[in-house]
Amino acid sequence: MTSLLVIIVLVLLAVALWQLTKIFDLTQEGSHSDSSQVATDNDNNVQGYLMFGFLAFIYIFTIYGLFKWGNLVLHTPAAEHGATVDNLMNITWILIFTVQAITQVLLHYFAFKYRGKKDQKALYFADNNKLEAVWSVIPAVVLAGLILYGLYAWTNIMFVDEEEDTIVIELYAQQFKWSARYSGEDNVLGKANVRFIEGVNTLGVDIADPYSQDDIVVSELHIPKGKKVHFKMRSQDVLHSAYMPHFRAQMNCVPGMVTEFAFTPIYTTAEYRELPFMVEKVANINALRAKKSIQLVAVGETALDPYTFDYLLLCNKICGASHYNMQMKVIVDTPEDYAKWLKEQTLLVQDVKNANTAEPVEGATAKDSTSTKDTASVAKIAMK
């Protein structure tokens, strides 16, 4: 309701201002000459000062924004390569703010300083090759530096050395849920294609492939701290994008091909929760949630749960109606906890076998598995 009120106020405000200008016009009614809509010295004066005021507005708004919203921005990267990314980002920001500060001052200050006056004549100044060379060469040199640093970082991040000792994990996207497949002891994922999708085998893994015998499918991603994880992404229906903002990681999942991204986590979930900035952020969020809960309870709805931080994998490519709710929890464990957790998971081949023995009649005619069986098995996987 308050929002509606806000809108009404805004509309009224608009009407009021509009009326004001109408009145302003009427006061000028005396001058009916044709050039009355051309800027006069008085207009130039007023608008010149407003330009100066606008410069102040941009500056104050920027500084206000940096203080007020600066802490909302993603903080300490949770992956090894994140430091390089953030470093490059910071350098770029310094450059941007410098250029922005200088050019906006010049632009608006000139607009104020040289506002038109009747007896003033502009300087006939049409060209200066030296000046133009200066502002072509300076950006060129600065950009060359940025490009070199950027390309160096990009190459290091994106090209995964196949020889390197990594953990291979498949991220699997479908409307509107994520799954992960661990390659098991052989560290090689079994072959897969959507044409193998059947019953509990929702990822379409080729069960006959020797490499898939030790594969494990889960719906919550666990990764160990300090070990490079090599993600291979697949999608079964539309484009999705695996976005893990805290790890500075993102890659699209494309039906019909396998995409990849690799990074090394450097904070366990527990450690990241303890970082001072995160403690503060979570406290702030919980304060906001508590406030909202009071409102909710007042209208008879249930209060919001308090929030604890978890790494997330979000979908960041429009993928359908529930795109806004396609997420998976990511948990970074210590290597020991990770090994323990992994041991507790059942192998995919075992799941398939169990599903088949549970319903032997349908197992025999698995080709046309009924939809009821599908949902039951999907639910079973989702429960893990």
Partner 1 sequence: MSAEGHDHGHDHEHEHHHKETFITKYIFSIDHKMIAKQYLITGIIMGIIGVGMSMLFRMQLAWPEESFKIFNILLGDKFAPNGVMANDIYLALVTIHGTIMVFFVLTAGLSGTFSNLLIPLQIGARDMASGFMNMISYWLFFLSSVIMVCSLFVEAGPASAGWTIYPPLSALPQAIPGSGMGMTLWLVSVAIFIGSSLMGSLSCVVTVINLRTKGMSMTRLPLTIWAFFVTAIIGIVSFPVLLSAALLLIMDRSFGTSFFLSDIYIAGEVLHYQGGSPVLFEHLFWFLGHPEVYIVLLPALGITSEIIATNSRKPIFGYRAMIMSILAIAFLSTIVWGHHMFISGMNPFLGSVFTFTTLLIAIPSAVKAFNYITTLWKGNLQLNPAMLFSIGLVSTFITGGLTGIILGDSTLDINVHDTYFVVAHFHLVMGISALYGMFAGIYHWFPKMFGRMLNKNLGYVHFWVTAICAYGVFFPMHFIGLAGLPRRYYTNTNFPLFDDLQNVNVLITTFALIGGAFQLVFLYNFFSSIFYGKKAVQNPWKSNTLEWTAPVEHIHGNWPGEIPHVHRWPYDYSNPLHEEDFVPQNVPMKEGEEVLHH
Q: Which of 63, 99, 279, 382 binds partner 1 (CB under 8 A)?
A: 99
Q: Is 128 in the site for partner 1 (CB under 8 A)?
A: yes
Q: Which of 72, 294, 361, 379 binds partner 1 (CB under 8 A)?
A: 72
Quote the distance between the C-alpha of residue 22 and its chain's center.
Answer: 46
Q: Is 270 in the site for partner 1 (CB under 8 A)?
A: no
SS3 16: helix
Q: Which of 5, 124, 344, 361 binds partner 1 (CB under 8 A)?
A: 124
Among residues 187, 204, 49, which one has the least CA distance to residue 111? Answer: 49
Q: Is 116 in the site for partner 1 (CB under 8 A)?
A: yes
SS3 127: coil
Cβ 247 to partner 1 shortest distance, Å: 9
Q: Which of 56, 63, 83, 147 binds partner 1 (CB under 8 A)?
A: 147
Cα Rg of the chain (Å, integer): 30
For residue 279, give every residue at least 6 positions away whose Cβ sits within 8 Å of its Cβ, in sequence order, or none: 273
Instruction: Decide the pairing of beta strands 311-315 and 177-182.
Output: unpaired
Distance CA 86, CA 74 (A): 10
Q: Is 42 in the site for partner 1 (CB under 8 A)?
A: no
Cβ 173 to partner 1 shortest distance, Å: 12
Tokens of 234: 């697949």
Cβ 172 to partner 1 shortest distance, Å: 11
Distance CA 185, CA 213 (A): 10
How many CB atoms within 10 Å of residue 27? 7
Q: Is 62 in the site for partner 1 (CB under 8 A)?
A: yes
Strands of the sheet containing 327-333, edge to edge, are: 221-224, 327-333, 311-315, 240-244, 249-253
Q: Is 67 in the site for partner 1 (CB under 8 A)?
A: no
Site for partner 1 in 339-378 (CB under 8 A): 371, 374
Q: Which of 4, 298, 361, 364 binds partner 1 (CB under 8 A)?
A: 4
Q: Which of 63, 94, 143, 339 binds partner 1 (CB under 8 A)?
A: 143
Among residues 160, 214, 209, which one has the least CA distance to residue 182? Answer: 214
**Cα-Cα-Cα-Cα dihedral sign, residues 143, 147, 153, 154:** positive
Tokens of 279: 């403690």
Q: Is 85 in the site for partner 1 (CB under 8 A)?
A: yes
Instruction: Decide the pairing of beta strands 311-315 and 240-244.
Output: antiparallel
| Closer of 185 and 321 to partner 1 (Cβ) | 321
Q: Is 126 in the site for partner 1 (CB under 8 A)?
A: yes
Q: Is 173 in the site for partner 1 (CB under 8 A)?
A: no
Site for partner 1 in 181-240 (CB under 8 A): 193-195, 197, 204, 233, 236-239
Site for partner 1 in 273-302 (CB under 8 A): 281, 284-285, 288-289
Binding footprint of partner 1, residue count (CB under 8 A): 133
Q: Which of 226, 324, 350, 354 binds partner 1 (CB under 8 A)?
A: 324
